[in-house]
Amino acid sequence: MPFIPGVLSARSGLARASLLGVLLAAGSVQAESALMQEVDSRSAPEASEQRAGFVDWLGAFRRRAAGQGISERTLERALDGVRYRPEVIENDRYQPEFVRPIWQYLDTAVSSARVNTGREKLAAHRATARAMQKRYGVPAEVIVAIWGIESNYGRHFGDYSTLDAFATLAFDGRRRDFARQELLAALKIIDAGDIAADDMVGSWAGAMGHTQFIPSSFRAYAVDGDGDGRRDIWGSIPDVMASTANYLKRAGWQPGQPWGTEVRLPEDFDYAQTGQLSTAQWRRRGVRAVDGATLPEFAEAKIIVPAGAEGPAFLTGPNFRSILRYNNATSYALAVAKLSDAVAGRRGIVNAWPREQAPLTRDDVTRLQRLLNRAGYEVGGADGIMGPNTRKGLRAFQRDQGLTADGFATQALLKRLENS
C-alpha cells in the first residue's frame, strides 16, 4: 500500500496484522464466528450508546465535509448508508504474538505460484505494462510485482466499504485524525466522479483496489491510464498500472537502474554501518556481488542484512528506497524486488536464510529490551518492537560478548542476556 511520509502505512502497521484476514485466509469459519461473537459480547446499553455516539459524530463530520466543498449529492450517496464496523476496531487493536520471520514471508510472497501468475498477467497485459514502462520509466515486471504483493493480482483486495472503514477508525480508532483526513479524501474522490460510493471497496484498513492505495495516495498519484476520464484502480488494469508506476516515479524511481543485488560481505564487516555510501566505497570495504559479477554503480547505496550475519546480504540503491516509499518495510520491499526478478527470469536469492532460528514473540522482545536496559545498554521503552535503538543496544551487547555484532535478535541471545 502506498506509504505517505509521516503516516503509518495501513498495510505495514495494520492490514497485514489483521486477525480476521488471517482467519479468512485459513478458511476458519468457526474462528471468525468466535471473533465476531467477542465483538458482539458488549451489553445492549453499551452497544446502543456506541451507535448513538457514532450517529452524532457522523453528523458533525458531514457538516465539516460540506464546509470543505463536498456536494450534498455526494454526501447523501456516500454517508447515508455508512455503518460502524466493530470488527475494524478489533483488527486495528490486534497484535500478533509472533513476529513472522522474513524467510516465511518471502516463501509466500515469492512463491512459484505467484511467480507463474505474475508471468501470465504480464503476458496478458504486456502492451499496457510496456506502455507504462515507457511513460514512467518503471519496469513492467516491477509494476506487476507490486500488483502481486498487494492483492495477489486482484484476487484479494478486500470487500470492505472504504467509507465504513475510515468512518469507524475516525470515530473509535487509534489514529483518528489520520482516519478523518482519509475519509474526507475518499469523499473528494467520489465527488470528482472517479468511483461510485458503493464501489469504493478494499481492505478493512481502508486500502483500496488492486494495488491498495489509501484515499490520499489515490488523490496524489492515481492516473487515468485508459483515457476514459476516470481513475479506476478497481476495474481498469491500465489505470492500476499507470497509477502504480506514477507513484514509484514520484517516489524517485531511477530508470535503467536495478533495485540492488545480493552481495557477499567481508569477514570483518561492520554491521553498525547503517548509512549510505557509494558503490565504490562499499567495494573498497570488501563488498562483492555474490555471483562475482560487477556491482551496480550507485551514488548512494545501503547494505541490508534482514536476518543478520547468518542470512543473505543485499546492496540496495535508490529504486529499493522508492519501493520502501510504497510501503516502509524491508520485507515488503525485498519481496517486490525479488518477485520482479523472478517474473523477469532473473536468479533468486543465493545464500540460505537461518531457518533454524525460532522467532521471538513480542513478549520475548519486550524482555530482551528490559534486560538490555538493565545491563546498561539503553534502548528506551520496552515496547516489544525491534526498532533501531534496540538493534543498536543489541549490537553493543554482542560486541562486548565477542560475538558478531549484527543486531539480529535470537532466542540464544535472549538466553545469554538472561544469564549475564
DSSP code string of 185-248? HHHHHHHTTSS-GGG-EE-TTS-BTTTTB-HHHHHHH---SSSSSS--TTT-HHHHHHHHHHHH
Alpha-carbon gap, residue 297 to 280, rounded angstroms? 8
| Longest Cα separation, the chain | 69
DSSP 160: E
What three-state secondary structure class fits 279? helix
Continuous segment of H or E residues that includes residue 21: helix 19-26
Q: Cβ atoms within 10 A of the Cβ of 155, count? A: 9
Phi, psi of 100 (to 5 degrees): -70, 125
Question: What phi, psi does 316 have (nearest 5°)?
Answer: -120, 140
* Active-site residue, 46 included: no
Q: How far is CA 212 from the centre of its chain?
A: 10
Exposed, middle or buried by CB within 10 Å (0-12, 13-18, 19+), for 263? buried
Measured CA to CA, the distance from residue 88 to residue 35 in angstroms comes to 12
Number of other residues whose CB lies within 10 A of the CB of residue 99: 16
Distant-in-sequence, close-in-space partners of 327: CB < 8 Å, separation ≥ 6: 1, 2, 3, 9, 11, 12, 333
Q: Which of 150, 267, 297, 300 is catalytic?
A: 150
Q: Kindly tell me the number of DSSP H helices and DSSP E strands found in the chain.
A: 20, 6
**CA 344, chain centre distance (Å):** 23
302, β-bridge pairs: 316
Residue positions annotated with a catalytic role: 150
